[in-house]
Amino acid sequence: MSRNSNPERHAQRMAIKQKIMQQRIAQAQKEQGILLVLTGPGKGKSSSGFGMVARALGHGMKVGIVQFIKGAFSTGEQAFFSQLANVDYHVMGQGYTWDTQDREQDMAAASAAWDVVAKMLQDPSYDLLLLDELNIALKYQYLDLDRVLDDLQARPAMQHVIVTGRNAPPELIELADTVTDMRALKHAFKDQGIKAQKGIEL
Amino acid sequence: MSRNSNPERHAQRMAIKQKIMQQRIAQAQKEQGILLVLTGPGKGKSSSGFGMVARALGHGMKVGIVQFIKGAFSTGEQAFFSQLANVDYHVMGQGYTWDTQDREQDMAAASAAWDVVAKMLQDPSYDLLLLDELNIALKYQYLDLDRVLDDLQARPAMQHVIVTGRNAPPELIELADTVTDMRALKHAFKDQGIKAQKGIEL
C-alpha cells in the first residue's frame, strides 16, 4: 500500500467496490464506465490513451484530456487533439517540470490540475477522460491518493477514465476495471542509441 | 523460430541488421525510422498504434494504415482517421474474417493487403505506417514471413512502421527496434462481465 493512502478510507472504498462488483455479476452485460489503467515501463501507455481518445471521437463522444507532465514529450498530441471539437485539453501548470526543486510549487500545480479533473469527474457530459501521466504525480505524492480515488469512484456511471504512467499505485490498480502492464522487451531509444524520433517517441 | 521462416534468409537478414546496428552505435543520436512492435495479450496495442498516428499527424506527417482484421473491433478509428487528410486508410479484403473456413481465400486477401503495404514500404513519402493486427496474419501463416521481413527491412531509412497484434513472431521481434509486450493484469470485459464499451473496447 502506498504511504499516502488511509487504510480506513481504503477499506470503505473496497466495500463500495465489492457492492458494485456484486451488482455487475448480477447484471452481466451491464453498460458502464470503465476505469482503465495503462502502466509499466514499456512504450505505448500515453499513445494508447490518445488512440482511445481518437476512437471515442470517432463515435462522437466528448473527451477531456489532462496532461500531468508538461513537456515530457513533444506537443504532437496537443497539436493534433487540442484543435478538435469535442476535446477539452489541459496541460498542467505553467512552468511545471519534474526537475524543479520546489516541491511546494509542484504540489500546488498538481493540485490545481486535479481541480480541473475533479470538475470533469462531476460532469456527465464528458464521456471519456484521459489523465495522462497521473501515476507520476501520485508516485511523487504530489496529490492525495485518497482524494484521487474517491473522486474517480464517485464519477458518473457511464464515464470512462484512462490513467497512464509508470508505477500505478496498488490501490488504483485495485479500483480499476482493466489494467495493462506494458513491458519493454526492447527500446530503440534506450538500448540502441537511436535518437527519439518524431511521430514515434515525440 | 516460426515454421514459415527460412533459416538462411534469416541469417542474411540478421547480418544486415548487425551492420545497421554497428552503424547506429558509431553514429549515436542518429535519426532513423523505427520498427515498433506492440504485442502481448494486454489491452492497448492497436490503440497505441492509433495514438502514434495521431501524434504523427500532429507533426504534419503522412501516414498509411492497413488493418489486417476487418470488423475485429468497431469502426471508431476508421470513422475518425479515414476522413483526415494525410491518412491513407485500408481495411483488408471484402468479407474477410478469421472465422471463414476458406483458407485459400484468407491467404489471397492477406496477400492482397500486403501488396498495398509493400507499395507503401517503397514510398518514402509515407512517414509512418501502422500495420494493425499484422501479427495475427503472420501467426496463421496467411503471409510469407520472409517476404514480410524483407520488405520491412528494405523500407526507406526514415520511415517508421508500427506492427500490432498478439503473438509477434520471434523473427519480427528480433528485427524490431522497440518492442512492447502488453500484459493484462485485469480486463473488465473478460474478468468482470462488463460489456465491451464504446470508446474503450469498441
Query: What's the pLDDT tens digit per position in B165-177?
Result: 999 999 999 999 9
Rg for chain B (alpha carbons), in Å?
A: 17
DSSP B17-29: HHHHHHHHHHTTT
**Any idea what the CATH number is for the domain that residue B151 is in?**
3.40.50.300
- Say if A10 falls within a structural domain: no
Q: Give me the residue from A75, A81, A188 closest to B54, CB to CB.
A: A81
Residues A193, B29: C-beta atoms closer than 8 Å: yes
| Model confidence pLDDT, tens digit, residues A88-127 | 998 875 544 555 567 787 888 889 999 999 999 999 999 9
- Say if A154 falls within a structural domain: yes
Q: Which residues contact A184 (CB under 8 A, 6 or more apart)?
A: A40, A41, A42, A43, A190, B178, B179, B180, B181
* Angle, in degrees to the nearest 10, between helices B145-153 and B7-26: 20
pLDDT of residue B97: 52
Task: Provide the grid cell at A118.
Answer: 475533479
CB B10 within 8 A of CB A176: no
Residues B185, A188: C-beta atoms closer than 8 Å: no
- What average pLDDT does range A4-26 have in this prediction? 74
- Say if B65 falls within a structural domain: yes
pLDDT of residue A77: 78
- Say if A59 falls within a structural domain: yes
Question: Nearest CA to CA, how far is B163 from chain A (Å)?
Answer: 12
ipTM of the complex as predicted: 0.72
Residues A198, B25: C-beta atoms closer than 8 Å: no
Q: Where in the sequence is the domain holding B176, given as residue range(s)?
A: 33-183
SS3 at position B130? strand
Residues of chain B with pLDDT under 50: 1-2, 72-73, 95-96
| Model confidence pLDDT, tens digit, residues B89-104 | 988 755 445 555 677 8
pLDDT of residue B26: 63
- Say if A7 falls within a structural domain: no
Between these two residues, A90 and A21, which has the higher pLDDT value?
A90
Instruction: Give whole-number Cα distances, B51 to A22, A81, B25, B92, B131, in Å.
Output: 34, 10, 29, 21, 13
- Say if A62 falls within a structural domain: yes
pLDDT of residue B30: 63
d(CA B176, CA B188): 31
Intra-chain end-to-end CA distance of chain B, in Å: 33
When pLDDT is cut at 50, 70 and 90, the band that residue A35 belongs to is very high
Chains A, B: CB contacts within 8 A come to 242
Question: Nearest CA to CA, how far is A115 from chain B (Å)?
Answer: 24
pLDDT of residue A185: 85
- Say if B3 falls within a structural domain: no
On chain B, the residues whose CB falls within 8 A of the CB of A194 are 24, 30, 32, 34, 177
Q: Give me the residue from B38, B78, B198 closest to A44, CB to CB.
A: B38
Q: Give me the residue from A32, A51, A202 closest to B54, CB to CB.
A: A51
CB A103 within 8 A of CB A97: no
CA dihedral sign, ordered B3, B9, B12, B18 = negative
Lowest mean pLDDT among A51-55, A70-74, B131-135: A70-74
Q: Give me the residue from B32, B76, B182 closest to A182, CB to CB.
A: B182
Task: Provide the grid cell at B52.
Answer: 502514434
Between these two residues, A66 and B31, which has the higher pLDDT value?
A66
Number of domains observed in the structure of chain A: 1
- Say if A9 falls within a structural domain: no
CB B132 within 8 A of CB B66: yes
Rg for chain A (alpha carbons), in Å?
A: 17
On chain A, the residues whose CB falls within 8 A of the CB of B176 are 186
| Model confidence pLDDT, tens digit, residues A145-202 | 999 999 999 999 999 999 999 999 999 999 999 999 999 887 765 566 666 667 666 5
Q: Which residue of A has its CA nearest to B181?
A: A183
